[in-house]
Amino acid sequence: MSATNASSDPPAVILLDSDGYSPMARPSNLPALHYKRALAHLLTEPDAASAAAAEESSNSRKKPKTPAERVEAHLRQRGWESTWRFGMYKHAHYHSTTHELLTVLIGTSSILLGGRKASSSSSSTPVEETPAPTGTTKQEIHLEPGDILILPAGYTHEALSHSPDFLLVGSYPEGSAPWDMKFPENPTECDKVSEVIAEGVLTRSRKGLFDARDPVDVGEGGLELLWTVGRV
């Protein structure tokens, strides 16, 4: 399977309400999307015959060779610009200036969406088992290599635990503002940031995605349907 023809099952949909400290879906009504092992095929090294054939047919442009380079090249073709390789902070934070796409390169992690601190995860239910009911403000999910997680602006996230080798690629829609760091500390700031997200990020494109596309082809069950004009 080539990078340009990557396909996957439709993503898990995670629509979370604001708890008054994190904007979550309040300003946009956009869900987070979890594509399970969608880019796992880019993380494995090609066999010698395939590598030789690819080299023979390649043009003069340099081809991505490492798993991280292949993932970043694939996402770039779909309107996502990768800017860092790192893990995830173990404190709750979110971004108000742009949406974020996270791809797992190595290792595994349990992360919390929503909430103000790791201890708030005690009552959360893994989204893979049971979708969050209406009114839910936090959700714990498990990430493994090849997974993609798309977080709308305002979605608080933090790592609860992770393997020592856990590594992500962080990507953002081309043309978006640089990402910032916000913390779910008080309701007044949450209200102000929600206005910033609604008036700033989302008004730059009715879909709130600028020119970015689904990171993988999923037919009619992906981002381009779930993040429709009607949701904004």
8 Å CB contact between 168 and 87: yes
Q: What is the pLDDT of residue 72?
A: 96
For residue 110, give Cα distances in angstroms to 121, 126, 129, 181: 10, 9, 14, 21
Over range 184-190, report the average pLDDT: 93
Mean residue pLDDT of the chain comes to 81
- Higher per-residue confidence, 5 vs 18: 18
pLDDT at 142 over 90: yes
pLDDT at 13 over 90: yes
Q: What is the pLDDT of residue 35?
A: 95
8 Å CB contact between 232 and 28: yes
pLDDT at 134 over 90: no
Q: What is the pLDDT of residue 29?
A: 86
Q: Residue 171: which residues within 8 A CB-CB, separation 6 or more?
A: 72, 75, 80, 81, 82, 83, 100, 101, 102, 103
Q: Residue 133: which residues within 8 A CB-CB, separation 6 or more?
A: none
Q: Predicted confidence band at 25 (pLDDT cuts at 50, 70, 90)?
A: very high
Over range 208-213, report the average pLDDT: 63
Q: Predicted confidence band at 226 (pLDDT cuts at 50, 70, 90)?
A: confident
Over range 107-133, report the average pLDDT: 61
- Give this prediction's pTM: 0.82
pLDDT at 208 over 90: no
pLDDT at 62 over 70: no
Q: If you write DSSP's letter for every residue of 162-228 in order, what string do you get? A: E-TT-EEEEEEETTPPPP--B----HHHHHHHHHHIIIIIGGGSTTSSTT---SSB-TTSSHHHHT-
- Higher per-residue confidence, 61 vs 175: 175
Show the CA angle centred on residue 177, arms to residues 148 and 14, nearest 5°: 35
